Structure 1
Amino acid sequence: MEATLAELPLSDGSVLRYSLAEAMASSGIPAISFAAISRFEIAVARAYGVTAVGELTKVTTRSLFQAASVSKPVTATGALALVRRGKLDLDNNVNDRLKSWQVPDNEFTAKEKVTLRRLMSHTAGLSVHGFPGYAIGAQRPTVQQILDGSPPANTAPVRVVFEPGSRQEYSGGGITVEQLMMSDVTGKAFENLMRDTVLQPMGMRDSTFAQPLPDGIALRTTAGTLFDGTIVPGRSHIYPEMAAAGLWTTPTDLARFAIQTARARLGQADVVLDVTMMEQMFQKVPNGDMLGFFSDPKNPGVFTHNGGNAGFRSLLIMNSVTGNGITVMTNADGGWGLMELLSHRIGTLSGWTHDFGGPARAVWLVAITNGANMALSHFEAVRSTAQESDLNEAGRILLAKGRTDEAIKLYRRNVEVYPTSGNVYDSLAWAYEVAGDKAQATSNYRLSLGHNPANENALERLKALE
């Protein structure tokens, strides 16, 4: 795998081959670490690269990365453990359990209430998608201040913005309500509660929700890398929104968590949750999905989650039917594509019966190394399974590298292929704005609004351009 990470077809029938080292160097990713799972056992764990841009210290399989939103299914396991003990319930109003703060009622809660089941499945109707974190040394808010959006919180108030249970809308704010409720009913600090309830019982010896980290643990962390290739100031952000984004861990520990979860689902383990509680976790809720995880319609038995904090990306995929899976972590904002390539390659080499959505695609990698024309050739070769995000992501990377004309070329092709998507016009408009072409930028923002009148970014940019 190290020698041949990807074999990427071109429209003329030729193939571009990349090693793992070439892909990491080209995309500016200092480190990547993974654990591959086969038949409910960790088959192999590897780590490549260095702890930070410009450093010489090599990562190991025990180097720590921020799990970001992969914190959420780990938190869900802790919440369900409290349900099992009778400390929490799934379907009653969370305000019945909250002691230090209450979800404000409004017209949306007149008939339906916010419940723990809805919090964990993102169907509670709550706002605030995610959190940017806080710089080292910056004043940090309490959880209550975060939920009310009061200083020094850097996000809006968490409020009910549509009727609970009516649809699914991802909400890190809702998971932060879950965090507070877990602490309220137990009287324990969240990081200690999760250590005692989930991390230690599941053998996750290199994991912690502590924010900020104790000095001894901090020495084993990797440093986050921003899209522009610089290190996150202070090496990483602090996330008092621990349940939603605060877990520091390793792919090996996440693999242990995934295996225990899969075995418990099959009734083969009862470390934290028994099979009855697992039935609750994996039963899809009305208008939503699982509790803590997401399913994959193309791959029966799969439960998954990914995550992104400032400078970090993470991925967990596990199949409770086959016992195969993978966990991958990087310390780079630009790590998504490499994680997908690595997962695809390991799955292929291991003979998994997993639908990855067609042959390996990496338009972004070809664009970086061989330019826009070659990237378009690769896109055409895999077009039957491609997505609009392929060209969009490649264009974003080229823009970040100052290769604006090439980015525009990719975005223009995306508009041709996906002419009804407001998002592709928005991206093309931004590229023209970067290039200083106000007329084309204005025209494409308007086209974007024609397909998506709710595009707030396009509205804001048009005001700025007028």
Structure 2
Amino acid sequence: MKTICLAISLAISLVASAQTKTTIVDSLIHRSNRIGVFKGNVLVMDKGKVIYKAAIGYTDATEKQTLTTAYRFHIGSIAKEFNAVAIMMLKEQGKLSIDDKISKYLTGLPAWADKISIKNLLQYTSGLPNLKWGELKSDGEAMAALKKFDKLDFEPGTQYAYNNSNTLLQRQIIAEITGSSFAEFVTNKMLKPCGMSNSIVDPTDEPLVARSYNNARVQSPMAYPITGWTAVTLDDFYKWEKALESFKLINPQSTREILTPFSPGKQCGLGGGTMDGEKLIYHQHDGTALNYQALLTAYPARGRTIILLTNNKQNTLYDVNKAIEDILDGKPYQQPKKSVLNDFARQLDSLNGNEIIPWYNHLKSKYATEYGFDNESSLNMIGYYYKGKNRIDDAITVFNYNTQLFPKSGNVYDSLADAYNAKGDKEKALLNYKRSVTLDPNNEMAKKIIEELEKK
């Protein structure tokens, strides 16, 4: 009888704990919405159960109709997971090898097609130039633009350059091999088997599709320079993640292949993550397209998945995600605030290296309560913004200052290490990755990068 009472008491305690977390997450999301840092849809799973699921925001720039969880969102670069998985499906069927040169499947390209492998496309090491996507309106125009280049930016497999020229050719190869469009392949061979009945590739005027818009309430056109972009609901996105974790479409070896970047800290087919043997233990991927942003974070062994979808980009999804994770872990959390990067990107572009920190501190004294100056992610996002523009020394300056402000954070040292790694400074990259792991022993990605760097 005593054992039964204890069991009942424990069950009640667990239910109360889950309810408390749900209430706190709900408060976080609604407060974030009120101060203008998040509009969109949210799904929080923990221990395999729904902790929180909500829609908060509007369907389009008119802000007259509210979102529901049935709405579909573009997910930016996360949609590239579909072409990466499709290629591995075809590999497992014996229809291609990732070491094949692309000229085997695509004709009419310049001589450089004999040098580029499918693996180069997956790892963004092809050397393909980045096209002027704003001037292109179709796959045909994009292919014609590529054919005008008679040489690559670098020898395939020697450097990394993240651009959609690689995505375009991946999708063209899939269509050529299967004899159907990429959209048809995704719909019939991926979405349907995964039960993703509400997802759609390249939506235009279909109902229940959130339209993206900026803070001036200017709506983005639903136009695509290349095709093949899948829009998903919260539930379908979760089904996709579970399909990856259970190896429903491709086996663990193939999953590892597209989870392995060209070098530590670079993007791969599935964004980023780690595996332990034949188990996926961590997966994170973010994406941006127009004013859409999406972030998925999953810890399969813990039954935890957090999905954030917005059609009103504020560059705050990582802050919201971090707060939710802290709530789930029973830790103190910080309320997300407005993004410095989102509101001051033009000024950041105009600053020289030695002007950045004084400008930031002036901004901090002026808008101390409005923006996330008390949060490490504010500078972190600025650092990655500069890193994405290949201003590596400026990124290092920003990340280094962040370590001075938040010396107990493993994440800021991880970011500084990423910048040194991008610069090719192995010694300082290793030093800071190790500092990160010391402060955050759960940083599995940093452990993996340390192991790879020490082999070189």
TM-score, with length taken from structure 2: 0.65
| CA gap 1:157/1:5 in 2 versus in 1, 3 angstroms | farther
Partner Cα distance (1:133, 1:45) in 2? 39
1:21-420 correspondence runs (5 A): 21-27=30-36, 31-39=39-47, 43-99=51-107, 101-102=108-109, 104-106=110-112, 113-128=115-130, 131-132=133-134, 140-141=137-138, 143-149=139-145, 160-209=152-201, 211-213=202-204, 215=205, 218-232=206-220, 236-243=221-228, 246-264=229-247, 271-285=248-262, 291-295=268-272, 301-334=281-314, 336-337=315-316, 339-351=317-329, 362=337, 364=339, 373=365, 375-376=367-368, 381-382=374-375, 387=379, 389=381
Contact 2:102 2:117 in 1 (8 A): yes
What's the offset of the Cα at 1:124? 1.8
Contact 1:305 1:315 in 2 (8 A): yes
Per the alignment, residue 394 of structure 2 pairs with: 421
| CA gap 1:55/1:375 in 2 versus in 1, 3 angstroms | closer
Q: For 1:364, give the aligned amino acid.
A: S
What's the offset of the Cα at 1:392? 10
Q: For 1:333, give the aligned amino acid.
A: K
Contact 1:133 1:238 in 2 (8 A): no
What's the offset of the Cα at 1:3? 7.4
| CA gap 1:380/1:71 in 2 versus in 1, 3 angstroms | closer
Aligned residue pair count = 350
Gaps of 5+ in 1: 7-17, 135-139, 265-270, 394-417, 426-451, 453-466
Q: Deviations along 1:109-167, whole A, 9 cap, x unmatched? A: 78xx3122221121222222784597xxxxx43x232123289xxxx969631111112
Partner Cα distance (1:275, 1:83) in 2? 13
Contact 1:98 1:181 in 2 (8 A): yes
Q: For 1:163, give the aligned amino acid.
A: E
Q: Secondary structure at the match of 1:206?
A: coil
Partner Cα distance (2:313, 2:378) in 1? 22
Q: Deviations along 1:190-230, whole A, 9 cap, x unmatched? A: 11111111111111111121x353x5xx1111111025332
| CA gap 1:42/1:23 in 2 versus in 1, 3 angstroms | closer
Partner Cα distance (1:285, 1:419) in 2? 18
Contact 2:41 2:309 in 1 (8 A): yes
Contact 2:45 2:51 in 1 (8 A): yes
Partner Cα distance (1:180, 1:352) in 2? 47
Partner Cα distance (2:250, 2:233) in 1? 22
Per the alignment, residue 414 of structure 1 pairs with: none
Q: Secondary structure at the match of 2:44?
A: strand
Q: Deviations along 1:369-396, whole A, 9 cap, x unmatched? A: xx8536447766445x752535999xxx
Gaps of 5+ in 2: 1-20, 344-362, 386-390, 399-422, 424-456
| CA gap 1:159/1:316 in 2 versus in 1, 3 angstroms | farther
Partner Cα distance (1:391, 1:229) in 2? 28
Contact 1:5 1:342 in 2 (8 A): no
What's the offset of the Cα at 1:84? 1.2
Q: For 1:421, give the aligned amino acid.
A: D
Partner Cα distance (1:247, 1:310) in 2? 14
Q: Deviations along 1:11-56, whole A, 9 cap, x unmatched? A: xxxxxxx853443344376x41122233456554321122123343
Contact 1:92 1:116 in 2 (8 A): yes
Partner Cα distance (2:163, 2:24) in 1? 38
Q: Secondary structure at the match of 1:242?
A: coil
Which structure has greater helix proportion? 2
| CA gap 1:26/1:423 in 2 versus in 1, 3 angstroms | farther
Contact 2:383 2:395 in 1 (8 A): no
Contact 2:59 2:65 in 1 (8 A): yes
Identical counterparts, % of pairs: 15
What's the offset of the Cα at 1:180? 0.5
Q: For 1:242, give the aligned amino acid.
A: T
Per the alignment, residue 439 of structure 2 pairs with: none
TM-score, with length taken from structure 1: 0.64
Per the alignment, residue 404 of structure 1 pairs with: none
Q: For 2:302, give the aligned amino acid.
A: T
Partner Cα distance (2:31, 2:295) in 1? 21
Contact 2:340 2:372 in 1 (8 A): no
| CA gap 1:196/1:130 in 2 versus in 1, 3 angstroms | farther
Contact 1:123 1:288 in 2 (8 A): no
Per the alignment, residue 460 of structure 1 pairs with: none
Partner Cα distance (1:318, 1:303) in 2? 5
